[in-house]
């Protein structure tokens, strides 16, 4: 299969607290992407500083990382053809008010600061984020018996 890649998708504390984990994960499974990493974690400030490195020093940074430390996060890694781009489409626009109905944010969120999930925005970001949140041995390489029914 060409253009197979991996992406990092996190259900943020608001999504976990609202009981949306299974609904969010099912969107990726139903689309045909393969789950290769899954864990629940209380993120440390150090991890969040690394994850959001491009935002360090911005006025919203402290509030954003405090929110991300306010409860558990469900961290996942998905694999499939064009999964980074398609994952962003499944999630919807970062600002839920700009997200179309049918997207995760369009269906489950209203405010930017409570947009229920994070998704990598590029293959490079995905690789960096996956390596931050997961150890290599926490990712599972496996063959899906459905692959021939999903990919040509």
Other C-beta atoms closer than 10 Å to the C-beta of 37 total: 19
Q: 8: annotated binding-site residue?
A: no
Is 88 a known ligand-binding residue? yes
Is residue 94 a known part of a binding site? yes
The answer to the question of whether 42 is labelled as a binding residue is: no
Distance CA 78, CA 128 (A): 14
Tell whether residue 115 is among the known ligand binding residues: yes
**How far lies 44's CA from each of 30, 32, 37, 50, 99, in Å?**
31, 32, 19, 10, 29
Catalytic residue, from 6, 27, 51, 118: name it. Answer: 118
- Establish whether 118 is a catalytic residue: yes
Positions at the binding site? 12, 60, 88, 94, 105, 115
Which residues are part of the catalytic machinery?
A: 118
Positions at the binding site for ATP? 12, 60, 88, 94, 105, 115
């Amino acid at each position: 299969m060409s253009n197979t890649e991996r992406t990092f998708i996190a259900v943020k504390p608001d999504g976990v607290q609202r009981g949306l984990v299974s609904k969010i994960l099912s969107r990726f499974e139903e689309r045909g992407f393969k789950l290769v990493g899954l864990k629940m974690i209380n993120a440390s400030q150090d991890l969040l500083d690394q994850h959001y490195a491009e935002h360090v020093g911005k006025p919203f940074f402290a509030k954003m990382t405090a929110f991300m430390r306010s409860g558990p996060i469900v961290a996942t890694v998905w694999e499939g053809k064009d999964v980074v781009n398609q994952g962003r489409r499944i999630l919807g626009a970062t600002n839920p008010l700009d997200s179309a109905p049918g997207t995760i944010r369009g269906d489950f969120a209203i405010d930017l600061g409570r947009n229920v999930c994070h998704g990598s925005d590029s293959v490079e970001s995905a690789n960096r984020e996956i390596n931050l949140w997961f150890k290599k041995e926490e990712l599972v390489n496996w063959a899906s018996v459905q692959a021939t029914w999903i990919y040509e």
